Structure 1
């Protein structure tokens, strides 16, 4: 049957695919709109498979929270080029995935992929985008934070995002936002020294001992000296003990307690495409 320009535009609007792709899909489907849509989607899977060995190192990292500020999520959607990452439609598509994650309190990345947006799974949307854009598109990262108060931060450019959970809210939300920005800027490894993974502690002690051993320090003193180096590591790399970036005369813990004696961080997540 004859394929009209109106048919092509309708399919393009529905799928976002190129004009020729839409025309060819309609021709292959003998004008059947739903079948043409399926052809476009299958093409997306084909493109994704063909490009599976490509590196999707660009993309968008977005963070957001629920209306009650008690649940937050971060989503990263990868692509191959910065040109695509900066495209408004690509950013909006990522935002729709983030909104679905928050609305459904997705448990993990696989649960997120299984959620439906506009009647289709997010996983199928991602595959379709590969066909529409012609690049490898990958939903690579998802994390959530649940707490009495959760605050997000997205660094300009959508390449870095953080979520920070607190044990309580405060009247001045900027205080909490400052800490979310601290996480972005200083990339702590844990909330406090007690939260640092044992293997990280062991590694830092070994690095310190070997360093001082090379400097000729007595073997009997290495454990004590290394412990001092570990304490410095904790101060520089655990969030509550870091110098507050807006006022390095106080720690983040002291900054929070100046607002409310009981205020503290329960957990945080930081992800970036830039590092």
Structure 2
């Protein structure tokens, strides 16, 4: 028996996904009212749409800043879209704010994506892993396979796009960007960012900024 889809169900799904009312209604009908199934369906549809738009030129956008409470950590971000119209949309501006807070919280992140990591950094990580004591007595094939897996994990730690979104841990930053591409109908690119830590390079401090920023964001 087909479950009746109420306007409240549709609005709830729209609030959770940002998808259009018609798409939400169709997704709920196809999922027989199960909102989690509908969310997954819309997410897959959005990712597919985003992939088609990912090669389009994005030269508009904005530069967003974030200063963490206490003024000890700051972030500058350039995020691009295709038109000034989209750059002025609240959803795009909120995305920019969320990404700057993500960067502030992820102290191990230094590159937008794995494709931006220089080859000399990759070579260094590979050399480091291959020299570890626990791989000394293993056959070369096994050693290389283990080292490759560890290096891939390390590169993901350095890449912003591979991080889990701090406000929704089951979504990566890359998926978050694609959701907004589908929502706003334009290609969106994180072009560059810079993180500033007070006193960085002068003295080494052990303040846990990751925990501090994450706790503040999750409490909102």
Aligned partner of 1:64 among 43, 48, 66 = 66
Q: Could you tell me whether the CA contact under 8 Å between 2:78 and 2:193 is conserved in 1? A: yes
Tell me the equivalent position of 1:117.
166
Q: In 1, Cα distance between the equivalents of 2:167 and 2:73? A: 23
Which consecutive unaligned segments of at least 5 residues does structure 1 have?
149-164, 168-275
Tell me the equivalent position of 2:12.
10
Tell me the equivalent position of 1:23.
25
Shift in Å, 1:106: 4.8
C-alpha distance 133-118 of structure 1, shift in aligned 2 (>3 A): same
Aligned partner of 2:186 among 135, 157, 161 = 135
Tell me the equivalent position of 2:121.
none
Q: In 2, Cα distance between the equivalents of 1:106 and 1:88? A: 29
Q: In 2, Cα distance between the equivalents of 1:54 and 1:32? A: 35
Shift in Å, 1:60: 2.1
Q: Where do 4+ consecutive residues of structure 1 move more than 6 Å?
A: none
Shift in Å, 1:32: 1.6
C-alpha distance 96-146 of structure 1, shift in aligned 2 (>3 A): same
State the Cα RMSD in Å: 2.3
Shift in Å, 1:166: 10
Shift in Å, 1:96: 1.3
Q: In 2, Cα distance between the equivalents of 1:56 and 1:5? A: 36
Structure (1 or 2) with the greater strand fraction = 1
Q: In 2, Cα distance between the equivalents of 1:50 and 1:122? A: 18
Aligned residue runs from structure 1 range 155-194, under 5 A: none
Q: Does 1:99 align with 2:148?
A: no
Shift in Å, 1:83: 0.9
Q: Could you tell me whether the CA contact under 8 Å between 2:46 and 2:182 is conserved in 1? A: yes
Which secondary structure does the structure 2 equivalent of 1:143 belong to?
strand
Which secondary structure does the structure 1 equivalent of 2:195 belong to?
strand
Shift in Å, 1:102: 1.1
Tell me the equivalent position of 2:36.
34
Which secondary structure does the structure 1 equivalent of 2:62 belong to?
strand
The TM-score, its normalising length taken from structure 2, stands at 0.61
Q: In 1, Cα distance between the equivalents of 2:7 and 2:91? A: 23
Aligned partner of 2:84 among 72, 79, 82 = 82
Which secondary structure does the structure 2 equivalent of 1:107 belong to?
coil
Q: Could you tell me whether the CA contact under 8 Å between 1:42 and 1:128 is conserved in 2? A: no
Which secondary structure does the structure 1 equivalent of 2:5 belong to?
coil
Q: Deviations over 1:212-238 (max 9, x none)?
A: xxxxxxxxxxxxxxxxxxxxxxxxxxx
Q: Does 1:146 align with 2:197?
A: yes
